[in-house]
Amino acid sequence: MKNVIHFLLWGSLVLLGACKKDGDADDDGGRHQTEDSRLVGKWQNESGTTIYNGRADGLMLESTTNSAWLETIQTGFVKYGDFYIKNLNRESENRFSCEALWYTRVNGTISGVRYSSESTLTISQDGNQLELDSYSPYDGQRATSILIKR
């Protein structure tokens, strides 16, 4: 039985949860989440197959035609409205540590999803592009995804 791990790149990263403003009571081991209004709006992956709804505290899955994303929805691991990027922690003006969702396949079928806390989100200077760099929580594999503001 071969396990295949995929990063939801093709429009396929999802995040669950919410972020808090700096200074809010935390239940995150002392880290404080950061909100950023530059994330607000609609975002899409480079191929345009997946659309995300950006909020100041992260990105949520809005729609997709991507087969891997659709399979995660059909199997109940993910639903529309779930966060794609969550728990943003500002590292610099345009860079945040965050959590990104990965999925894994067993024998060609999606068998689970898990967030990676080894993820970084960078906002371009003009605010129209996001670069997500993340390492798989399953095997440490690295993947990068670009999202474009619509």
Residues 135-148 pLDDT 10s: 999 999 999 999 99
Is pLDDT above 80 for 31?
no
Element spanning 5, H or E? strand 3-7
Q: Is the pLDDT of residue 66 over 60?
A: yes
Looking at residues 40-65, what average pLDDT do you find? 95
Residues in the chain: 150
Burial (CB count <10 Å: 0-12, 13-18, 19+), residue 52: buried
Query: Could you say which DSSP state residue 30 is in?
Result: T
Per-residue pLDDT tens for 67-103? Answer: 998 999 999 999 999 999 999 999 999 999 999 999 9
pLDDT exceeds cutoff 50 at 23: no
* Predicted TM-score of the model (pTM): 0.77
Structural domains of the chain, count? 1
Mean pLDDT of the chain: 83
Domain that holds residue 48: 3-149
pLDDT band at residue 21 using 50, 70 and 90 as cut-offs: very low
The more confident residue out of 21 and 77 is 77
